[in-house]
Amino acid sequence: MRRTPALIVGGGPAGAAAAIVLARAGAPHLLVERSRDTGDALCGGFLSWRTLRTLAALGVEADMLNPARVTRVRIIAGARQVEAPLPAPAVSVSRRRLDTVMLAHAIAGGASVERGVTVRAIEALAARTADGATIAADTMFLASGKHDIRGVARPEDARGADPTLGLRIRLTDPSTARLVGDAVELHLFRGGYAGIAVQEDGSVNICMAVHRSRMQAAGGPVALLRTLGDALPRFGERLSTWDGGAPDAVANVPYGWRALATTCRTFRLGDQAAVIPSLAGEGMGIAIASGAAAAAAHVSGEAAEHWQSAFARTVARPMRAAAMLRRLAESPVAAALLPLLRPDLIRISANATRIGD
């Protein structure tokens, strides 16, 4: 059995942020990441102005991720469209780029990282890996993202009776990037929505959140995309260069779930702490902020149990705001309500769904 004072399970933005803070403080730790090479996780590439401030405090500047800025939000429902400037410039970046930069920065700062280590189960601060080894810790940082680990998994009922599925396609034709420009787009439709933005390599990332009932009624993810492309002119225009291939998918996303408490000196980070509806564009903000804040709490001697309940209170307001906006976005009256949106109201909504510094 190996032992470490602090074990970080997961090398995504939450885990990397925690490792950066622990390394800076000289706090002994080990980060384990299941992938040997950085992949491109589903969605999660919008970084708000507040998240950029948090990253800068960690030593990761926005230009390291994408020199271009997202300056506007464009909301589209049916044939109707409204547009407004964001409260401040944001960034769209692929998860491959974000994860690579953050983990490299953590390692350069002295973080202890091992890749290719898959944790299968966690029990009483002991992590059992795929090769049968055990890593024991005095403190655990659970940063496994959407992936639940046996022994510390989120509850099944968090997914609801009609769970949400995440779909993602990536388009590389420059004509699609020109249509989107420097905006982040939200395309609204009954039972779901799609977010679209141009990433650092010029590709267009289309991420969708769809209720399972809507996708089943359409006949599957490919059929749903085709149906929406035919029914929604502007969305269909964005899909015009899609090759018809199956999208990447993740099932049963528990939007609205929060870890109200934790046990046994385990800090829950990112999606293991709170899952905000993706139309808010704050999933990465929660991941990075939770990783940095939990590590700072650990360094200061704060108990994980105390920090977790405080963090749950911190994210409650933006998550409630995002849940309300999601209900409106997915409703049949979304198109009718769109003309009521004014730039000031859009800015208020954008700020209301931020986690804060």
Q: What is the pLDDT of residue 340?
A: 76
Neighbours of 332 (CB within 10 A): 9
Q: Report the percentage of the chain scoring pLDDT > 90.
A: 87
142 — pLDDT class (breaks 50, 70, 90): very high
338 — pLDDT class (breaks 50, 70, 90): confident
d(CA 351, CA 172): 31
Place of tokens 């004509």: 175
**Sequence-ordered list of residues with C-beta below 8 angstroms from that of 257, at least 6 positions apart, any chain:** 154, 155, 158, 274, 275
CATH code for residues 2-158+254-352: 3.50.50.60
Q: Note whether 255 and 210 are within 8 A (CB).
A: no
Q: Residue 356: pLDDT above 80? A: no
Q: Has this prediction a pTM greater than 0.75?
A: yes
d(CA 137, CA 141): 10
Q: What is the pLDDT of residue 337?
A: 79
**Across the chain, what does the average pLDDT equal?**
94
Span between the terminal Cα atoms of the chain, in Å: 39
Q: Residue 205: pLDDT above 80? A: yes
CA distances from 47 to 227, 284, 289 (A): 30, 7, 12
Q: What is the pLDDT of residue 234?
A: 95
d(CA 152, CA 320): 25
Tokens matching residue 333? 């009256």
Q: What is the pLDDT of residue 357?
A: 65
Q: Residue 38: pLDDT above 90? A: no
CA distances from 202 to 61, 92, 169, 246 (A): 19, 10, 14, 21
40 — pLDDT class (breaks 50, 70, 90): confident
Closest CA to 288 of 3, 29, 65, 28: 65
Q: What is the pLDDT of residue 159?
A: 81
d(CA 274, CA 37): 26
